[in-house]
Amino acid sequence: LGASKWQIMRYVIVPNSLPEIFTGARVAMGVCWGTVVAAELVAAEKGAGMMIMVASKFQQTDVVILGIILIGAIGFAIDMLMRWAEKIMVPWKGRG
C-alpha cells in the first residue's frame, strides 16, 4: 500500500508486538524480584531478606511473617504496576 519501512515498523510491527513484550517484561520483573529477595537472604547486610533471616535466628515469628507479607505485597504491587502500564499502552489487548 506504499508504506515505508519506518511506517510499517511504527504502525504495524511494534503495536502488534507490544502485548508480548509486556508479558515478557512482567515475567522478567517477577524473576528479578525473586532474585533480589534470594540475594538478600544469602548475602545482604540490610533489606527485607536480611530482616527475615535475623528474625528467624531469634525465633521472632511475627517479624518473619511480616517480612514474607511485605515481600509478597511488593511483588504484587510490581505486577499491578506492570498491568496498569500495559493497559495504558496496549488498550486493544483482549478485545475482539
40 falls within a domain: yes
32 falls within a domain: yes
43 falls within a domain: yes
pLDDT of residue 49: 87
- At 3-22, the pLDDT tens digits run 999 999 999 999 999 999 99
11 falls within a domain: no
If one counts the domains in the chain, the total is 1
Residue 49: how many other CB atoms lie within 10 Å? 19
8 falls within a domain: no
- At 8-64, the pLDDT tens digits run 999 999 999 999 999 999 999 999 999 998 898 888 888 888 899 999 999 999 999
- Gap between the Cα atoms of 6 and 4, Å rounded: 5
Q: Are 52 and 44 in contact (CB under 8 A)?
A: no
Mean pLDDT of the chain: 92
Residue 10 has which C-alpha cell? Answer: 511504527
Helix (H) or strand (E) holding 63: helix 61-89
pTM exceeding the 0.85 threshold for the entire prediction: no
81 falls within a domain: yes
Question: Would you say residue 96 has pLDDT above 70?
Answer: no
14 — phi, psi (to 5°)? -65, -50
Q: 59: domain range? A: 18-89
94 falls within a domain: no
